Amino acid sequence: MPSPYSWMDGDALVLDIKSPVLQRLHRDWEARRRGRLMPARADFDPLDLKYVLGNLSLVDVRRDPLRFRFRLHATKVVERVGFELTGKDVEAIADPHYRKLVRDHYTAVVERRRPVLEFRDRVMTDNVCLHCEVLALPLGNDGETVDRIMSAFVWC
């Protein structure tokens, strides 16, 4: 997967984000880092994120083996793709290609410990078209280890 980063500004990674909503979310994430590699979930008040809430998923990162569980699955994504994943692992995604795409995206966030941006343009096996920009942001209680991922979609 090619690097989604455009350039460095001090210790901040600048992404080539197209969506103004995702740009704002990335700025909010950067502002909450406060010198750490990543902010914690507790650094975010859901009321401050109301501009993106329907497009936002929160994913728990579990280890040994590495796996991902949706604490919250974005309601607008649920409406679009037709299945709810809140409380379920990524492995519950029926479409094997989409499941791998999501798993690989989240794995990249954990391995890099940095935000990962993707542009998706494909049809899933059930003929749902995914034409979107997706930003996945690492969160960690200790500021170093990814224990959650905040992921936001914007349809193109």
**pLDDT tens, position by position, 53-109:** 999 999 999 999 999 999 999 988 888 777 899 999 999 998 888 889 899 999 999
**Cα end-to-end distance, the chain, whole Å:** 21
Q: What tens digit of pLDDT does each residue of 145-156 get?
A: 999 999 998 877
Could you list the residue range(s) of the whole structural domain that residue 96 is in? 5-155
Model pLDDT, residue 6 = 40
Least confident among 15-24, 92-101, 120-129, 147-156:
120-129
Closest CA to 109 of 156, 52, 152: 152
Q: What values do phi and psi take at 4, rounded to 5?
A: -85, 0
Give me the chain's average pLDDT, please. 86
Q: Considering its fold, how many domains does the chain have in total?
A: 1
CA distance 119 to 47: 27
**In whole angstroms, how far apart are CA 127 and each of 9, 12, 50, 74, 122?**
41, 38, 30, 20, 9
The span from the CA of 151 to the CA of 56, in Å, is 6
CATH number at residue 140: 3.30.450.20
> H or E stretch including 145?
none
pLDDT of residue 90: 96
